[in-house]
Homo-oligomer: A and B are copies of this chain.
Amino acid sequence: MTRPLFGCIEAGGTKFVAGIVAGPDDVRETARFDTLTPDETIGATLDWLRAAQDQHGMLAAIGIASFGPIELDRNAPNWGHITATTKPGWSDTDFAGRIGRALGLPVGFDTDVNGAALAESRWGAGRGKPACVYVTIGTGIGGGAIVDGKPLQGLSHPEMGHIRIPRHPKDMQFPGICPFHADCLEGLASGPAIKARWGMSLSELPSDHEAHSIIAWYIAHMVVTLQSIMEPGCVILGGGVTATPALLDRICAQADELGRGYFRGKASDIIVAPGLGDKAGLLGGLALAQDILATPS
């Protein structure tokens, strides 16, 4: 029996990546599209998926790991929509429903970070770990947690970038850049928040610049708060900021110092880099497509 083929979409605010995927190590073809208007970008993705299906064979399901916020409640009239986003033109966009109707296929739909968290927990750095958290720290900060194989959510998906953390003693004046919450984690430690204070990225600053320890301190506070709330078996840190050389080591050391041995997981054992690299997004689509195919309809 041949493996089912899935159409996978990693939908970001800057670009979409679409792929025909049979397994985590079996990506048949991919394509990229700039994120323009919904009609242009969703239309181009659909055209490509149709053509790819003609070439590679029938797809079994679609998986979409999307920028947000999105509506996840399958009983809501606007399930599958991108909801109140700051991305111009994309608020209240029917996305998953449109793709599913156009192709006549079931669609798994979740946030980009929940998709990446699922993929990392299934095939990457989080394999076999109870409560696997994936956080990306770049232009924004977002995260997802996988518990018992499923994304953790209540009324909606997490918005982990918006947790509140203490201010670093050497960083009391900067107001923070989050348009909603000023000095939440994203307002203090995202890429734009770093540029707003120091004029360049963490990687461009000298390695002895205090920005490194300040940003590591903020991210370590997030880790300790996650430990307090769910004792994750791993915290996978992705994104451009986290890729700064030596930052992960600084975060680990700082988080262990903050935890003072109180938590079961030693921070330096649970904080890891992504295992799937830049494939986590597309493979998030794969995980979501697999799961929707396995869901009784």
Give CA–CA (A233, B156) in the complex, Å.
9
**Are A265 and B166 in contact (CB-based, < 8 A)?**
no
Give CA–CA (A50, B131) in the complex, Å.
39
Q: Taking A155-B233, A233-B155 as contacts, is the C-beta distance between A162 and B130 under 8 angstroms? A: no
- In the complex, which residues 231-268 of chain A have their Cβ closer than 8 Å to any Cβ of chain B? 231-233, 258-265
Stretch in contact with the other chain, from A9-17, A95-103, A198-206, A220-228:
A220-228
Residues of B within 8 Å of A221, CB to CB, are 164
Q: Specify how many copies of this chain sit in the oligomer.
A: 2
Stretch in contact with the other chain, from A21-29, A57-65, A146-154, A279-287:
A146-154
Q: Taking A164-B224, A229-B145 as contacts, is the C-beta distance between A130 and B153 under 8 angstroms? A: yes
Is chain A's interface secondary structure helix, strand, loop, or mixed overall?
loop
Q: Taking A155-B232, A180-B260, A181-B260 as contacts, is the C-beta distance between A163 and B225 under 8 angstroms? A: yes
Categorize the interface residue count of chain A.
35 or more
Q: Taking A153-B131, A154-B265, A231-B156 as contacts, is the C-beta distance between A164 and B162 under 8 angstroms? A: no
Which among A155, A159, A262 has the greatest number of chain B C-beta atoms within 10 A? A155
Give CA–CA (A77, B276) in the complex, Å.
35
Q: Within the complex, what minimum Cβ distance (angstroms) separates A186 from chain B?
A: 10
The answer, yes or no, to whether A124 is at the interface (CB within 8 Å) is: no
The answer, yes or no, to whether A38 is at the interface (CB within 8 Å) is: no
**Are A131 and B152 in contact (CB-based, < 8 A)?**
yes
**Are A229 and B155 in contact (CB-based, < 8 A)?**
no
14 contacts between A and B (CB under 8 A): A131-B153, A145-B230, A154-B233, A155-B264, A155-B265, A156-B265, A158-B230, A158-B231, A159-B228, A163-B224, A164-B221, A164-B258, A166-B167, A166-B183
